[in-house]
Amino acid sequence: MQVVHVASEVFPFSRSGGLGDVLGVLPAVQAGLGAEVTVVSPWYADVPGDVTPLWSGALPGVAGQPPLPEVRVGEVRRTGVRFVFVGLACFDRPGLYHPDDVWRFSLFGRAVLPVLAQLGVRPDVLHGHDWQAGLVVAHARLSGVRSVFSVHNLQYQGRWNLMDAMGWTGLPEWAFTHETLEFHGDVNLMKAGLVFSSQVTTVSPTYAREITTPEFGEGLEGLMRHLQGAGRLSGILNGLDQVRWDPATDPDVPLFTDPRGKGAAVAALRSEFGLDGAPILASVSRLAEQKGMDLLIGALPQLVQDWNVVVLGGGDPALEAALREWAAHPRVVFAQGMNEPLAHRIYAGADAFAMPSRFEPCGLSQMIAMRYGTLPVVRATGGLVDTVPADVGFSFAEASVGGLVAACGEARAAFDDPARWQERAARAMRLEFSWDGPAREYLGLYARVLSSAAPAVAGLVEA
């Protein structure tokens, strides 16, 4: 089976969060299971220099469409996967994402299939990831290529003024109705992927149910309910790179294989930041309200009575400023930005891990934390429900400071009973989050897509 993944980021070439992590592992596991796998992503200015240039020039035009700018194409082959990078001038700038991304990813979305054709790659199934790949899925449908579309975070949808964006997409005029790409007067590239794909997946079963409701549907809940009723919406839980995140082999931490050996990592983190003897509650996160980081900050007056609190992350300037102020407290540490070695040391050296997310499509941090015997304190939502057992972590239902404080209090009571805590940590470290199962689920889904008739685009409810 020839599988082509299309995504805006892929670890280790480009990454801002969980999407990049997924594309760094899932394709390799699928290749190991016998699929022929290609991954296509933009050739950002920050992509490492080991990309082999293949060619550059103009792509063949399509009648009635505006011409595409020239592209340059490069590749890297590793772990049995062909990584193809599409270079456009609009991506030749530092960083991944910018305010003009709907325009940039419209150009990218039009370029992907012609680039694949130039390389002689004809996918059996194209697997698009998040809104940046939505337009690729639409063009695949019009070209007769079957597709699967994965929603990693429904909040980000790739919306832009309809009159401007229509000319960027290269799609026929009929594609801009309420039933297709139009959304409250805008073009919506997330909706393009949802409407034109054969199957839609999300990254956890609970999130797949949540996004059919107004609370989590981000205005697309009507469309999601239609897809669910048509048997076109499912949730496949993300896996974890268990080689990259392994306390028995991790070069950044004192090695350990069970909770009894974790003490050296805890002592090292305590020494690194000059913390006292209270247990360590940590968070490694994008600083955003979605992640509930405002709740964590609001809970700090209560938390510092029982915990040292260590936060690594960046994002919302107001949340960063609040954490910088709190860092003057002897029991609060704030490391701004993302630092991979430090993240490993925090996962290994913390006692508990806070994820007070307002919504969480899947989440990887809780899986990583448990792999290192660090017990999660999580809001009961999305993938956190699907991955954190009640006899391992601690959860709370309401997205509030009080809910988080109560769950942390429960965790502290458990910590004060060493035998009880060790039992929980041991269960956490035995949990299995391999990508093998999810990769097989996706391959099975691809096979079903190929054996069934393509769903009609017409008849979708207005979202």
Contact 351, 280 (CB under 8 A): yes
Q: Are 194 and 329 in contact (CB under 8 A)?
A: no
242 versus 443: which is more confidently predicted? 443
Say whether pLDDT at 64 is over 80: no
Instruction: Give the per-residue pLDDT at 61.
Output: 66
Residue 457 pLDDT exceeds 70: no
Instruction: Give residue 23's Cα distance to chain centre.
Output: 9
pLDDT computed for residue 460 by the predictor: 45
- What pLDDT does 338 receive? 85
> Nearest CA to 366 among 379, 146, 168, 151?
379
Residue 65 has pLDDT above 80, yes or no: no
Percentage of the chain lying above the pLDDT 90 cut: 89
pLDDT of residue 270: 97
Provide DSSP, 216-236.
TSTT-HHHHHHHHHTT-EEE-
pLDDT digits (tens, 9 = 90+) for 35-61: 999 999 999 999 988 899 999 998 876
- Please name which of 188, 214, 212 lies closest in space to residue 202, comparing C-alpha atoms: 212
Nearest to 428 by CA among 364, 372, 347, 353: 372
Contact present, 455 and 198 (Cβ < 8 Å): yes
Q: Bridge partners of 311?
A: 283, 334
The predicted model scores a pTM of 0.92
Amino acid 48: pLDDT: 86
Mean pLDDT for the chain? 94
Cα–Cα separations (whole angstroms), residue 156 to 213, 343, 402 = 17, 25, 28
State percent of the chain over pLDDT 70: 97
Residues 6 or more apart whose CB falls under 8 angstroms from that of 359 comprise: 155, 207, 210, 216, 290, 381, 382
pLDDT of residue 60: 76
Residue 334 has pLDDT above 90, yes or no: yes
Residues 195-214 have pLDDT tens digits of 999 999 999 999 999 999 99
Instruction: Label residue 459 by pLDDT band (50, 70, 90).
Output: very low
The encoded tokens of residue 244 equal: 């990259």
Q: How does DSSP classify residue 245?
A: S
